[in-house]
């Protein structure tokens, strides 16, 4: 049986509550003989600050670097609003992304038929939706230099951010998108603003050349980012994999997320380069939602985004696609049976707790 090293970083607020449900699933998968999981646990965010005065300790960073994958809950909350900027809870997540060099952010937007009513769009537009947004995560305007506010001396100031991409950054994110598409419906939509941005012209050229050279079997289309935003709410089912830069990806993935209803349903993955020697890639999996301080400690959190993040981990880091499919089918079955946490209540009469939702998914795993 294969052995995988997992680091669990539950974090703050509802993070530990939803991570407990993932631990149950991992225990069940081990008992079923799917794989052996060597589990380490660490602190991140406010809980790490309370324990060590840092948003993540050096020893937990070492564990993250040594792990086959990291599962991350959520960080932050009003308790830590006043802590120094460089040790604020979010700094732990940014450090992980930076040190693990996680350049590709994968956000699936899946609309389970049972939840189609929770979307702000009409049922026929979102029911059965299954798209994947691949966002470049470590480059572009959020990191480009110069990045500053300068005083022009005449009562005016100038704010400057720099959008910058090199060929290799576009190529490596393009590869992630094309490889994913091959395992899905074989279509990639690349998005930029080549009509007004030089970085968009280069993005378009590099993706087109990469496609021609290595991925001609995959369908490729290009859409301007503003037009794609419109298409996402007009007819999202036309898309399979969307690949885009850091800034546009930030916005387009939030639009796609809302097509599906609740924050409590959305998993994500952040991936690094494949190591040429070990053939493994660094990876961190986390729900899209935050620490939800308003419901923390009440047993109300929806664990589906966190459990869905584990399913992504099994599929993309451990090659256990069939087990991931089983988890996702169990989630769909639970929803089809009408079981709901408070955030996805809709017209349901009763709601169940975080732990009861985890147990219901487990019961359908076999």
| Cα four-point dihedral sign 188, 193, 195, 201 | negative
Nearest-approach distance from CB 177 to ligand NAD, in angstroms: 23
The number of residues that bind ligand NAD (CB under 6 A) is 20
For residue 121, CA distances in Å to 214, 235, 259, 305 come to 37, 10, 7, 21
List binders of ligand NAD among 51-110 (CB under 6 A).
74-77, 93
Per-residue binder mask for ligand NAD (CB under 6 A), 334-353, x = binder? ---------x----------
Report d(CA 131, CA 134) in Å as an integer: 10
Note whether 16 binds ligand NAD by CB under 6 A: no
Least separation in angstroms between residue 345's CB and ligand NAD is 10
250 is an active site residue: yes
CB of 344 to ligand NAD, least distance (A): 8
Report in angstroms how near the CB of residue 201 gets to ligand NAD at its nearest.
33
Q: Where does this chain touch ligand NAD (CB under 6 A) — which range of 122-130, 277-285, 298-306, 309-317?
A: 298-306
Q: Where are the alpha helices (DSSP H) in the chain?
A: 15-31, 46-52, 58-66, 89-99, 123-126, 167-182, 198-214, 225-234, 246-259, 304-316, 321-336, 354-363
As measured in angstroms, the least distance from the Cβ of 225 to ligand NAD is 23
> Could you tell me the smallest distance in angstroms from the CB atom of residue 87 to ligand NAD?
14
Establish whether 245 is a catalytic residue: no
DSSP output for 40-71? EE---THHHHHHHSSSS-HHHHHHHHHSSEEE
Non-local (6+) Cβ contacts of 360 within 8 A are 334, 337, 339, 352
Task: Please identify, among the stretches 128-136, 237-245, 290-298, 324-332, the one whose residues bind ligand NAD according to the rule CB under 6 A.
Answer: 290-298
Q: Is 139 in the site for ligand NAD (CB under 6 A)?
A: no
* 261 lies in the binding site for ligand NAD (CB under 6 A): no
Q: Phi, psi (5° rounding) for residue 268?
A: -155, 165
Contact between 215 and 207 under an 8 Å Cβ cutoff? The reply is no
Q: Does 181 bind ligand NAD (CB under 6 A)?
A: no
From the candidates 5, 24, 142, 237, give the one annotated as an active-site residue. Answer: 142
Sign of CA dihedral 119, 267, 79, 98: negative
Tell me how far apart the terminal alpha carbons of the chain are, to the nearest angstrom: 19
Q: Which of 50, 254, 275, 325 is catalytic?
A: 254
- Give yes or no for residue 176 binding ligand NAD (CB under 6 A): no
Binding status of residue 263 toward ligand NAD by CB under 6 A: yes
Of 20, 11, 14, 18, the residue nearest 294 (C-alpha) = 14
One residue of 19, 109, 116, 292 binding ligand NAD per CB under 6 A: 292
**Contact status: 264 vs ligand NAD (CB under 6 A):** yes
Residue 260 CA to residue 335 CA, distance in Å, equals 13
350 annotated active-site: no
Helix, strand, coil percentages, rounded to 5, for the chain: 45, 20, 35
One of 63, 67, 247, 305 touching ligand NAD (CB under 6 A)? 305
Q: Smallest distance from the beta carbon of 8 to ligand NAD, in angstroms?
A: 14
> In the annotation, is 142 catalytic?
yes
8 counts as binding ligand NAD under rule CB under 6 A: no
Please give the residue whose beta carbon sits closest to ligand NAD in the complex. 290
Identify whether the C-beta of residue 272 lies closer than 8 Å to the C-beta of residue 106: no
Binding of ligand NAD by 289 (CB under 6 A) = yes
Active site residue 193: yes
Q: Tell whether residue 301 is a contact of ligand NAD (CB under 6 A).
A: yes
Bridge partners for 148 per DSSP: 160
Classify the phi-psi angles of 121: left when phi > 0, otherwise alpha if psi is within -120 to 50, otherwise beta: beta
Residues that bind ligand NAD (CB under 6 A): 14, 74-77, 93, 263-264, 286, 289-295, 301-302, 305, 343
User: What positions carry a catalytic annotation?
Assistant: 142, 193, 226, 250, 254
């Amino acid at each position: 049986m294969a052995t995988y090293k997992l680091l669990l970083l539950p974090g703050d607020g509802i993070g530990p509550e939803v991570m407990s449900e993932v631990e149950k699933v991992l225990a069940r998968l081990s008992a079923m003989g799917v794989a052996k999981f060597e589990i380490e646990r660490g602190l991140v965010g406010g809980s790490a600050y309370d324990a060590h005065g840092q948003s993540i300790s050096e020893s937990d960073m070492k564990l993250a670097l040594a792990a086959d994958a990291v599962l991350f809950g959520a960080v932050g909350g009003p308790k830590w609003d006043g802590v120094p900027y460089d040790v604020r809870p979010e700094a732990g997540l940014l450090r992980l992304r930076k040190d693990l060099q996680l350049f590709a952010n994968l956000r699936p937007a899946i609309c389970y038929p049972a939840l189609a009513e929770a979307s702000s769009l009409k049922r026929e537009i979102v029911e059965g939706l299954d798209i994947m947004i691949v966002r470049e995560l470590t480059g572009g305007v959020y990191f480009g230099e110069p990045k500053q506010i300068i005083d022009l001396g005449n009562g005016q100031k100038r704010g400057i951010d720099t959008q910058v991409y090199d060929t290799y950054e576009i190529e490596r994110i393009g590869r992630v998108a094309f490889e994913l598409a091959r395992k899905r419906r074989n279509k990639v939509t690349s998005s930029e603003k080549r009509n007004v941005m030089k970085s968009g012209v280069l993005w378009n050229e590099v993706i087109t050349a990469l496609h021609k050279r290595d991925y001609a079997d995959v369908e490729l289309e290009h859409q301007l980012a503003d037009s794609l935003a419109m298409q996402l709410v007009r007819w999202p089912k036309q898309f399979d994999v969307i690949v885009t830069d850091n800034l546009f990806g930030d916005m387009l993935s939030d639009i796609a997320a809302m097509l599906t209803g609740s924050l409590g349903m959305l998993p994500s993955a952040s991936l690094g380069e494949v190591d040429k020697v070990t053939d493994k890639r660094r990876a961190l999996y986390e729900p899209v939602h935050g620490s939800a301080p308003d419901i923390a400690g009440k047993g109300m959190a929806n664990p589906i985004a966190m459990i869905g993040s584990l399913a992504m981990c099994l599929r993309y880091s451990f090659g256990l696609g069939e087990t991931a499919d089983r988890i996702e089918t169990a989630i769909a079955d639970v929803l089809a049976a009408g079981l709901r946490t408070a955030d996805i209540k809709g017209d349901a009469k009763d709601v169940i707790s975080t732990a009861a939702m985890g147990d219901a998914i487990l019961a359908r795993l076999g």
